[in-house]
C-alpha cells in the first residue's frame, strides 16, 4: 500500500494515552515500512502543557518508544520519523490559539487530517475553532468513540460537526473494523464460493461475538462509571462486528456499498421489548477476585468509581435479525472487564448433520464451527469432525488453521495503522457512517432506559471468571453454551 499523497496529520490530544499507545506507534510503523507515507507528510502534535517541540520530542521518546515494534526499535527509522513531527502549543479552551495552528499549516501541500484524540466534550469546540480560522476546507476529521452518551447527545454532536464538515470528510473510527481477521472475514465470505451457501439460517445454528478483557477500569474510573460496558463496547464495537458478519454481499468494496449493507443489518435488528430485557440481556459488575494468581479489587473500590455504583462492567445480550437470511438465528454478544482471559472472537456454530451413520458425535451441535480470533493472536480456524486413527469409527474434532503468516511474507498490519492510512488516502469503507451510528443507538436505547429506571444492581461476578452465571443460563435456554464452557 504505497502513496505519493502529501498530508499534514494534526493530532489533538498529542500527549494523551491514546496518542502514545496507538496513534503515534501506528504512524511510526507505516513510516518504518517505507512507501506507505509520502516523504513530504508531516505530523503536527497539539497540546498545552508542553513548552516546545524539543520538550515534545523528549516526551515522545519516553512515552511512545515502549509501544512500538515488537522486535525492537529501528533507531535510524525512529530518528527519521521524529523529523516528521512538529509541535504547536495550544489551549483548546481558547479559540484564539487556533490562529497559531492556522499559521503553522499555512502553505502546506496536500490534505489535512485532524485527529481528535480527546474527550467527546471537546469535539464540537475544536471543530468550531478550526472553522473560525478556515481550516475546515481540504481536510478530514477523525472522531474517536464514544460519540455521545445516547442517541440525543450523539445526534447533537453529529449535527454540530456536520455543520462544519461534510459527511465524506468525517471519519468515525472503530478500530475493530481495521483488524486483519475482520478483513479476512470479508475475503472468506465474498471471495470464496465455499462459505456463501452455508452463511444463512438453514445452516447456522447460532453466532457468538465476544470481547473480553482481563484489565479493570485502570485510571479511567471517572469516565467509565458514567459510561458502562453497554455504551463503551456494545453500541459500537460489538454491533459493528455483528453487521460485518451478517451483511449481504455488497456490489463492490467502495465505502458506501459496504456501509449500506451494514446499515441494512442494523436496521433489521429486532427491537427489544422493555418487558423482555431481563430475558435477553444480562448486566454484571465485577467483585474482588484473582486473575493469574494476583488479587484484584472490586469495581466499586476502583479510583474514581462511586462506592454504590450500579454501572455495569459486563454485558451479554441476545440479538435477532429480522431478515430472510438470519430469521430465527440467535446472535449472542458478550463483553466484560476483569474476565478470565483477554480474547476477542467471533464463533459461527453450524448446524449438526440431519442424520448420521457415524454415530451420535456427528449429531452434536458445534461439531462444525468457524472461529475468527481477533485478539490476542489473530487466526481463523474451521473446526470439523474427522476419524481418529485406529480401530472403529471414532470421531474427533480437528481444525483447519488459516495461518495467513505462512502464505504472506509481510507481517500483519495493526488496526490503527490500516485505519490511519485509510484516512490519509481518503478511504471511508472501514469507518462508521452517521446513519449506522444512529441505528445502533436506537437499538441500544431501550436497554439503557430500562436499566436506568429499574434501579436494580448488576449481577455480581468474581474477577477472573467469565461473568455472571445468568449469561450462561441465557445460552442454555437455547441449547448451547459459550465456547470456553464447551472446551
Angle at 160 between CA 154 and CA 166, to 5 degrees: 105
251 is catalytic: no
119: confidence class by pLDDT, cuts 50, 70, 90: confident
Residue 121 has pLDDT above 60, yes or no: yes
Nearest to 268 by CA among 186, 325, 211, 229: 325
User: 270: annotated binding-site residue?
Assistant: no
User: 48: annotated binding-site residue?
Assistant: yes
Sort 473 into a burial class: Cβ within 10 Å, 0-12 / 13-18 / 19+. exposed
Widest Cα–Cα separation across the chain: 82
Q: Give the span between the Cα atoms of 50 and 84, in whole angstroms.
A: 18
Q: Give the span between the Cα atoms of 449 and 457, in whole angstroms.
A: 14
Q: Give the 3-state secondary structure of residue 334.
A: strand
User: 22: annotated binding-site residue?
Assistant: no
Q: What is the pLDDT of residue 1?
A: 44
325: confidence class by pLDDT, cuts 50, 70, 90: very high
For 423-439, letters b (16+ CB in 10 Å) and e give bbeebbbbbbbbbbbbb
User: 145: annotated binding-site residue?
Assistant: yes
Q: Which one is the CATH code of 177-345+434-486: 3.30.360.10, 3.40.50.1100, 3.40.1350.10, 3.30.70.1560?
A: 3.30.360.10
Nearest to 460 by CA among 317, 256, 288, 281: 288
7-144 domain in CATH 3.30.1200.10? no
User: 92: annotated binding-site residue?
Assistant: yes
CB 111 within 8 A of CB 141: no
Work out the mean pLDDT of the chain and round it to a whole number. 91
Catalytic residue selected from 49, 63, 67, 237: 237
| pLDDT one-digit tens code per residue, 151-183 | 999 999 999 999 999 999 999 999 999 988 888
User: Where along the chain do its domains lie?
Assistant: 7-144, 177-345+434-486
User: 232: annotated binding-site residue?
Assistant: yes
User: What percent of the residues of the chain are helix, what percent strand, and what percent coil, each to the nearest 5?
Assistant: 40, 20, 40
CB 323 within 8 A of CB 315: no
User: 254: annotated binding-site residue?
Assistant: no
Share of the chain above pLDDT 70, in %: 94
* Phi, psi torsion values for 445, nearest 5 degrees: -55, -40
* Phi, psi torsion values for 367, nearest 5 degrees: -65, -35
Q: What is the pLDDT of residue 34?
A: 84
> Residues with Cβ < 8 Å from 25, sequence gap 6 or more?
64, 67, 68, 414, 416
Nearest to 329 by CA among 438, 237, 444, 198: 198
Q: What is the pLDDT of residue 180?
A: 84
| pLDDT one-digit tens code per residue, 76-91 | 999 999 999 999 999 9
Q: Give the span between the Cα atoms of 282 and 314, in whole angstroms.
A: 8
Lowest-confidence segment of 15-19, 96-100, 210-214, 410-414 by average pLDDT: 410-414
Q: pTM value?
A: 0.92
| pLDDT one-digit tens code per residue, 464-476 | 999 999 999 999 9
Cis bond leading into 93, ω under 30°?
A: no
* Phi, psi torsion values for 256, nearest 5 degrees: -75, -30
Amino acid at each position: 500500500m504505497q502513496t505519493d499523497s502529501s498530508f499534514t496529520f494534526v493530532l489533538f490530544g498529542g500527549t494523551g494515552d491514546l496518542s502514545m499507545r496507538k496513534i503515534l506507534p501506528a504512524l511510526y510503523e507505516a513510516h518504518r515500512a517505507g512507501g506507505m507515507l509520502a516523504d513530504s507528510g508531516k505530523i503536527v502534535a497539539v497540546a498545552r502543557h508542553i513548552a516546545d517541540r524539543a520538550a515534545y520530542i523528549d516526551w515522545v521518546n519516553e512515552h511512545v518508544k515502549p509501544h512500538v515494534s515488537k522486535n525492537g526499535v529501528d533507531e535510524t527509522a525512529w530518528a527519521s520519523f521524529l523529523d516528521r513531527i512538529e509541535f504547536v502549543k495550544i489551549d483548546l479552551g481558547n479559540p484564539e490559539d487556533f490562529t497559531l495552528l492556522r499559521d503553522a499549516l499555512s502553505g502546506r501541500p496536500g490534505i489535512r487530517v485532524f485527529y481528535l484524540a480527546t474527550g467527546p466534550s471537546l469535539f464540537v469546540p475544536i471543530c468550531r475553532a478550526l472553522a473560525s480560522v478556515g481550516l475546515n476546507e481540504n481536510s478530514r476529521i477523525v472522531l474517536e468513540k464514544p460519540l455521545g452518551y445516547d442517541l440525543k447527545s450523539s445526534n447533537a454532536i453529529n449535527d454540530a460537526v456536520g455543520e462544519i464538515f461534510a459527511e465524506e470528510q468525517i471519519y468515525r473510527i472503530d478500530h475493530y473494523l481495521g483488524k486483519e481477521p475482520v478483513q479476512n472475514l470479508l475475503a472468506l465470505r465474498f471471495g470464496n464460493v465455499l462459505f456463501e451457501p452455508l452463511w444463512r439460517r438453514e445452516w447456522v445454528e447460532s453466532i457468538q461475538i465476544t470481547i473480553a478483557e482481563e484489565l479493570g477500569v485502570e485510571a479511567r474510573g471517572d469516565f467509565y462509571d458514567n459510561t458502562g460496558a453497554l455504551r463503551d463496547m456494545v453500541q459500537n464495537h460489538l454491533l459493528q462486528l455483528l453487521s460485518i458478519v451478517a451483511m449481504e454481499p455488497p456490489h463492490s468494496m467502495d465505502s458506501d456499498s459496504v456501509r449500506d449493507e451494514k446499515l441494512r443489518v442494523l436496521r433489521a435488528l429486532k427491537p427489544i421489548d422493555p418487558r423482555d430485557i431481563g430475558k435477553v440481556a444480562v448486566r454484571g459488575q465485577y467483585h474482588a477476585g484473582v486473575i493469574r494468581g494476583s488479587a484484584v479489587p472490586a469495581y466499586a473500590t476502583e479510583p474514581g468509581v462511586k462506592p454504590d455504583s450500579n454501572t455495569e462492567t459486563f454485558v451479554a445480550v441476545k440479538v435477532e435479525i429480522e431478515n430472510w437470511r438470519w430469521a430465527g438465528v440467535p446472535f449472542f454478544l458478550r463483553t466484560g472487564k476483569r474476565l478470565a482471559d483477554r480474547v476477542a472472537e467471533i464463533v459461527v456454530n453450524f448446524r449438526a448433520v440431519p442424520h448420521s451413520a457415524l454415530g451420535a458425535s456427528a449429531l452434536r451441535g458445534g461439531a462444525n464451527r468457524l472461529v475468527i480470533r481477533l485478539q490476542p493472536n489473530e487466526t481463523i480456524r474451521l473446526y470439523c469432525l474427522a476419524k481418529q486413527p485406529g480401530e472403529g469409527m471414532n470421531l474427533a474434532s480437528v481444525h483447519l488453521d488459516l495461518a495467513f503468516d505462512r502464505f504472506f511474507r509481510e507481517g500483519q498490519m495493526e488496526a490503527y495503522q490500516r485505519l490511519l492510512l485509510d484516512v490519509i488516502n481518503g478511504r471511508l469503507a472501514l469507518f462508521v457512517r452517521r446513519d449506522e451510528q444512529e441505528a445502533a443507538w436506537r437499538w441500544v436505547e431501550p436497554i439503557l432506559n430500562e436499566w436506568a429506571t429499574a434501579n436494580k444492581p448488576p449481577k455480581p461476578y468474581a474477577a477472573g471468571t467469565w461473568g455472571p452465571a445468568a449469561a450462561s443460563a441465557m445460552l442454555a435456554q437455547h441449547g448451547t453454551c459459550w465456547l470456553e464452557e464447551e472446551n
